[in-house]
Chain A
Amino acid sequence: MTAQSSFMILSSVKDTKIEELTTLLSSMNSTIPAHADPKNDLLPFGRFPRLHFARFVIIEAHTADEIEAFGIAARPWQPTLAFFGEIDGDIDSFFTELEDLASVGLRKIFALCEKFPKEEENLQQWLKKNNTKSNANYVNWIGRTVKHIHEDDALHQSLAAYLREHKDDIDKNNTLALRQKLLSHVEMEKYAGRLTLTAEEKTPLKWKMFNFIHMIGVPLVLVLLSPLFLIMAPFFFIRLRMLERSDPELFIRPEHSYLEKLTIQEDWSVSNQYNVFGDIKPGVFRLLTLKFILFLVDYFSRHVYKRGFLARIKTIHFARWVLLDDNKRAFFASNYDGSHESYMDDFINKVGWGLNLIFSHAVPYPKTSWLIKQGAYREQQFKYTQRLHQLPTEVWYKAYPDLTNTDLARNSRIRKGVEIRQSSVDEIREWLHLI
């Protein structure tokens, strides 16, 4: 298995250069706003076979004043270009590929930023040096590579086309014979070079070991620390309730013109992108709580929610949480299936408690109580707040535009059925239903 990794390159942008930068970035797009042309000259995303998603966002703090409600002066923020994405395998070799295939383009883009690779500097080294780690990452299915996604999809398409072509001369109820026909079809297609089903790569030993130690080690340390947590708990909750009662509440409806900047990029196909950025509420208490929760989110994503679902949410492909500006601000980005409204409804109804745990430490999240209640369940206020803090994307790339997580999971199951033959008629029928 090859696990995915993520990268994020950040560099602040001079105010005077922002316009030039947005124009340059938009030249990478197809006719659809913010949707990358996979073959564009600056960064031909389509030529990177390990790349799942990638995005350019200019992080601007247009809501920075909100923190003044806490009696704190707004911190200055220099607009910052964020280039980030998710790939299969290790980051270093991906940076080398970037250097090989997109050196000119990337240098051109970052030349408009304050931090940029000097001419004599090695781009790969520069990217490595400026790579910002997330505080938490979520991956829908750890180890599902772009290569397999494409192979599985081709397999599915080929089987579906076969059924379509032979729809009048197959006996639909003779499942055994039908499966045999389909399997021979796959063999023929493989032989003719039209289908490839590469075996899964070996999991690197180093990754396996580290993952194992992490899986065992974290709970172990937490158990050891538990007496301490127990002693702290009453103080924690007293402080929490005090803050939850006293935190100022803002109910700001986003301007229509702002919403338009966001919706114009959305719902062109089955998936969408999402960025949200804002201040963390003041004080050590909020910061430490948030950091601890993100630590747990990362742990659970890596070891528990690694096969298709994050609690009841199955629509997220990738997500990341990153603390920025000396831990004063937080950035969240995701790639999800469905429309924005259904994403938010799914969130509120299915995992509102989880949203509250994480996002209630940000300004001006709707009031929570006991960390998980209220908050997102204040539907309208929550929806306004997240839209207000959402940032438009400049360029977005998805390697498999028409496929949702459910499609990907289904295609993997179809492939499994080709490789491991089912024994019972019921299983065969279930497999046939997938096609």
Chain B
Amino acid sequence: MNNENTFKFDDLQALLRFSHGRLTDTCFLLLHVADVRKAKKWLDTAPISNATESDSLPDRALQIAFTVEGLRVMCVAESVIDGFSDEFIMGMSGEESRSRRLGDIGMNAPEKWDWGGESKKIPHLMLMYYAKENAVKDFRTSIETEDFVKAFHVIHELPTLHIGEIEPFGFKDGISQPVIDWECRQSTNAHEREGYSNLVAVGEVVLGYPNEYGLYTARPLIDEREDSVAACLPHAEDKTGLKDLGRNGSYLVVRQLGQDVPGFWQFLYKMSASNFDKCELLAASMVGRRRDGKPLVLKSVAAIPGISTQNCDNHFTYDFDTEGYQCPIGAHVRRANPRTGDLPPRVTGIINRVMKKLGFDQKQEEDLVASTRFHRILRRGRSYGPKLAPAEAIKADAEVAERGLQFMCLSANILRQFEFVQSAWSMSSKFSGLQNESDPLLGNREVLMNGERTDQFNRPSAKGVTEKIYNLPKFVTVKGGAYFFMPGLSAVKYIASLPIKEDT
């Protein structure tokens, strides 16, 4: 536990440490490899940004990530690919059971996607450009040389547009993120953990380091004697003699989520009897924050590791709002991060601790949510589509346009982190014992097997009966998505240097 400030950032892609918030002009290209030899040559010298800190903030950043198909095309051996997780190998749209869990059914089904669904629409790699206002164009020209154009074929360009620090519905975004414990200050031992902490082990986001279980997530390890190219890779910390292709890399989940902004505000306005203030409150209760980002619950008195007590917008848990009177249990941010600890709240002393561990001293509707620390994601999304203020959106003639979020997140274990949050928390109509409702923003509103509805929103009130909103329309539609591996920089070199197989 004493890596005191020795973490080496130079092999990590910058996106793992920075969100490039200042670089507001972005372009995300989905590419197919057209010429492997040229692609490798370009990759070998590509100016991919690393995560070291420099005195002056950079004006540009370039990041890269590969799908499993992309790794195959770049001649990564099948035996090496087998070392990646099943989710990554199968892909986001590769199995019906996965789609079912993610809620990608009905209108969200992969066969309807613009990209990432059908196999020919699955990219090999994604190139992410970040630059200052209006500067991406020049940046692209400098990168997309003649050789680049011969090496790659752009299959799709993900739209992005900076509309301020907000997402298209108009809510402030990017407030809450897990803080990566680069210095390993926090113990992951369950005996030393109790409440919610915002610090997460490096291995939850970066492969090749201990995760919240104190263990190394499975990833491809290579024996240098069998594959000499692997000499450029870092050593595996947990297995002597093996090289670690995963180290300093991470999985990147990308989902293009179309948002019906006029549909959202007009429905809420109608439900609020055309009272705009009420409509704002209802919207805030669905998101779990006000539009300006203010949380709905009171600031936590107890300290939360990883969040400064001065940070009024994030220093809270839901421990004292078990009924959801302040922030409905089904609200988007409460589902996406319920801020639970290893033990149910309000442990008093050692005997009580044991009692709670054995399941006693709590109500039936308590302790239904898993400990959050195993299910965190690092969000890196960007919005697209023209800005539409709520006051405009409620009007019947509001401008209709393609709007939404290029949802992106990084994690070391797609199944335990992104997929878990998406399926067990967001889409589940039984999250924390709720009934008939899934995520008010993300829900696909499909009925359950026996016809039970999932299109309500329940807003408990301390005064009387729960306010129920019925027949919620679908506000968000999945338009595309894929799982990527975002390699460390040595791993990029490795991929670039692998010899080309005869038949390609």
List residues of A whose CB falls within 8 A of some B CB.
Answer: 32, 35, 163-164, 167, 170, 172-175, 178, 253, 256, 259-260, 263-264, 266-270, 305, 308-314, 337-339, 341-342, 345-346, 349-350, 377-380, 401-402, 404, 406-407, 409-410, 413, 429, 432-433, 435
B450 within 8 A of A: yes
Stretch of B37-45, B51-59, B90-98, B161-169 lying at the A interface: B90-98
CA distance A339 to B364 in the complex (A): 20
CA distance A312 to B341 in the complex (A): 14
- Contact (Cβ within 8 A) A267 B367: no
CA distance A128 to B439 in the complex (A): 48
B349 within 8 A of A: no
- Contact (Cβ within 8 A) A267 B101: yes
B420 within 8 A of A: yes
CA distance A314 to B90 in the complex (A): 32
| Contacts A172-B463, A341-B424 given; does A401 touch B468 at CB 8 Å | no
- A400 to chain B: closest residue by CB: B450
Stretch of B146-154, B213-221, B245-253 lying at the A interface: B213-221
Shortest Cβ gap from A122 to chain B (Å):
36
Q: Can you list 27 pairs linking A and B with CB atoms under 8 Å apart?
A: A164-B468, A167-B468, A172-B467, A174-B464, A253-B218, A259-B86, A267-B97, A267-B100, A270-B448, A270-B449, A305-B359, A313-B359, A314-B364, A338-B430, A339-B101, A341-B415, A341-B416, A342-B423, A342-B424, A345-B374, A345-B420, A379-B213, A401-B448, A401-B449, A410-B365, A429-B465, A433-B466
CB neighbours of A266 from chain B (8 A)? 97
CB neighbours of B461 from chain A (8 A)? 172
| Contacts A310-B359, A314-B364, A380-B215 given; does A341 touch B419 at CB 8 Å | yes
Partner among A172, A311, A338, A410 whose Cβ is within 8 Å of the Cβ of B358: A311
Interface residues in B356-406 by Cβ distance below 8 A to A read: 356-359, 364-365, 367-368, 370-371, 374-375
- Contact (Cβ within 8 A) B213 A377: yes
CB neighbours of B416 from chain A (8 A)? 341, 345
CA distance A259 to B468 in the complex (A): 40
CB neighbours of A170 from chain B (8 A)? 465
Partner among B364, B367, B374, B465 whose Cβ is within 8 Å of the Cβ of A433: B465
Among B97, B371, B416, B429, find the residue whose CB has the most chain A CB atoms closer than 10 A: B97
CB neighbours of A377 from chain B (8 A)? 190, 213
Partner among A35, A263, A313 whose Cβ is within 8 Å of the Cβ of B97: A263
Task: Identify 16 new A-B residue pairs, CB closer than 8 A, beyond the known A270-B448, A314-B364, A342-B420.
Answer: A164-B468, A172-B463, A172-B465, A173-B464, A253-B218, A260-B95, A267-B97, A270-B428, A309-B359, A339-B424, A349-B190, A349-B370, A402-B449, A433-B323, A433-B460, A433-B466
- Contact (Cβ within 8 A) A379 B359: no
Partner among A178, A270, A346 whose Cβ is within 8 Å of the Cβ of B370: A346
CB neighbours of B463 from chain A (8 A)? 172-173
- B101 to chain A: closest residue by CB: A267
Determine chain B's interface SS by DSSP, over half rule: loop
- Contact (Cβ within 8 A) A312 B464: no
- A253 to chain B: closest residue by CB: B218
Number of interface residues of B (CB under 8 A): 54
- Contact (Cβ within 8 A) A263 B95: yes
Shortest Cβ gap from B93 to chain A (Å):
15
- Contact (Cβ within 8 A) B213 A178: no
- B358 to chain A: closest residue by CB: A311
Partner among B90, B215, B374, B433 whose Cβ is within 8 Å of the Cβ of A256: B90
Partner among B215, B374, B415, B470 whose Cβ is within 8 Å of the Cβ of A378: B215
B104 within 8 A of A: no
- A353 to chain B: closest residue by CB: B357
| Contacts A314-B367, A341-B424, A433-B323 given; does A404 touch B430 at CB 8 Å | yes
Interface residues in B87-121 by Cβ distance below 8 A to A read: 89-90, 95-98, 100-101
| Contacts A270-B430, A314-B367 given; does A380 touch B100 at CB 8 Å | no
B157 within 8 A of A: no
- Contact (Cβ within 8 A) A429 B435: no
| Contacts A260-B95, A402-B450 given; does A432 touch B464 at CB 8 Å | yes
- Contact (Cβ within 8 A) B448 A256: no
The 10 closest A-B pairs by CB, nearest first: A269-B449, A263-B97, A402-B452, A406-B433, A342-B424, A173-B464, A172-B464, A311-B359, A402-B450, A402-B448
- A380 to chain B: closest residue by CB: B218
Shortest Cβ gap from A250 to chain B (Å):
15
CB neighbours of B452 from chain A (8 A)? 402
Partner among A35, A269, A308, A314 whose Cβ is within 8 Å of the Cβ of B448: A269
CA distance A164 to B466 in the complex (A): 11
CB neighbours of A401 from chain B (8 A)? 448-450
Among B90, B370, B468, find the residue whose CB has the most chain A CB atoms closer than 10 A: B370
CA distance A9 to B503 in the complex (A): 56
B437 within 8 A of A: no
Shortest Cβ gap from A52 to chain B (Å):
15
Interface bits B441-477 vs A (CB < 8 Å: 1, else 0) = 0000000111110000000110111111010000000
CA distance A409 to B466 in the complex (A): 19
- Contact (Cβ within 8 A) A429 B90: no
B244 within 8 A of A: no
CA distance A407 to B448 in the complex (A): 14
CA distance A377 to B371 in the complex (A): 14
- Contact (Cβ within 8 A) B89 A256: yes
Shortest Cβ gap from A124 to chain B (Å):
31
CB neighbours of B464 from chain A (8 A)? 172-175, 178, 429, 432
- Contact (Cβ within 8 A) B218 A268: no
CA distance A175 to B461 in the complex (A): 12
CB neighbours of B433 from chain A (8 A)? 404, 406, 410
CB neighbours of B435 from chain A (8 A)? 407, 410
- Contact (Cβ within 8 A) A337 B430: yes
Among B218, B358, B451, B465, find the residue whose CB has the most chain A CB atoms closer than 10 A: B465
Partner among B95, B215, B357, B448 whose Cβ is within 8 Å of the Cβ of A311: B357
